[in-house]
């Protein structure tokens, strides 16, 4: 179908598929935050999360395999490609980063600091600076194919420059806010897609 972003039409039409997919992901202990309709025709987004980077990389790989197998069971094919049509949005692998202080017992999110400008801690700002400074090198791993760059550009909600902003869809590095407190909680890196080897790209983004 050609329903728009977050439209219930796709969710209603694929209710059985989504239910089975969610159940199979749960059986593998893959934490699913949300499954929702995206902006391209019959496109879904699956949000997973983990406090451990290696666990998250494992979950992403297992989730991709599970999505493909589940789609085949229902007579469909999961494309999992950065771009399938120049007229519609492609498939990304957006990564969200926040921090915890290993030396603290409070387990607080140290990306936030309400006393600093924009509510971003010094550690959070340094991390973002490293990503942007090394962005050309990182893209070799996070956007590894020619098709990867077809997904990127103005108006594609991916960002296409080395820049950041707060709650902005058109930047490569977007700071996300808590809607209740207005504080910065984490940063989203959008120049990554489903063709990337997450075991290579994810650690490199942390390393910078």
Tens of pLDDT, residues 183-193 = 899 999 999 99
Across the range 104-116, mean pLDDT stands at 84
Strands 184-189 and 173-177 turn out to be antiparallel
Tokens for 196? 């990337």
Report percent pLDDT > 70 for the chain.
Answer: 96
Report percent pLDDT > 90 for the chain.
Answer: 64
Neighbouring C-beta atoms of residue 158, cutoff 10 Å = 24
pLDDT at 103: 77
Across the range 34-51, mean pLDDT stands at 89
CA distance 56 to 52: 6
């Amino acid at each position: 179908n050609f329903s728009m972003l977050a439209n219930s039409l796709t969710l209603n039409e694929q209710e059985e598929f989504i239910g089975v997919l969610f159940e199979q992901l749960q059986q593998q202990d893959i934490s699913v935050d949300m499954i929702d309709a995206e902006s391209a025709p019959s496109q879904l987004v699956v949000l997973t999360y983990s406090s451990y980077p290696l666990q998250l990389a494992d979950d992403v790989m297992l989730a991709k395999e599970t999505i493909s197998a589940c789609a085949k069971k229902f007579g469909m094919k999961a494309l999992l490609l950065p771009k399938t049509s120049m007229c519609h949005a492609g498939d990304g692998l957006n990564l969200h980063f926040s921090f915890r202080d290993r030396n603290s017992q409070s387990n607080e999110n140290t990306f936030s600091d309400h006393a600093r400008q924009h509510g971003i801690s010094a550690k959070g700002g340094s991390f973002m600076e490293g990503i942007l400074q090394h962005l050309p090198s990182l893209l070799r791993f996070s956007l590894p194919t020619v098709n990867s760059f077809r997904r990127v550009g103005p108006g594609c909600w991916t960002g296409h420059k080395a820049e950041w902003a707060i709650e902005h869809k058109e930047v490569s590095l977007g700071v996300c806010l808590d809607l209740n407190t207005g504080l910065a909680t984490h940063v989203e890196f959008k120049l990554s897609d489903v063709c990337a080897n997450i075991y290579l790209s994810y650690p490199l983004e942390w390393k910078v």
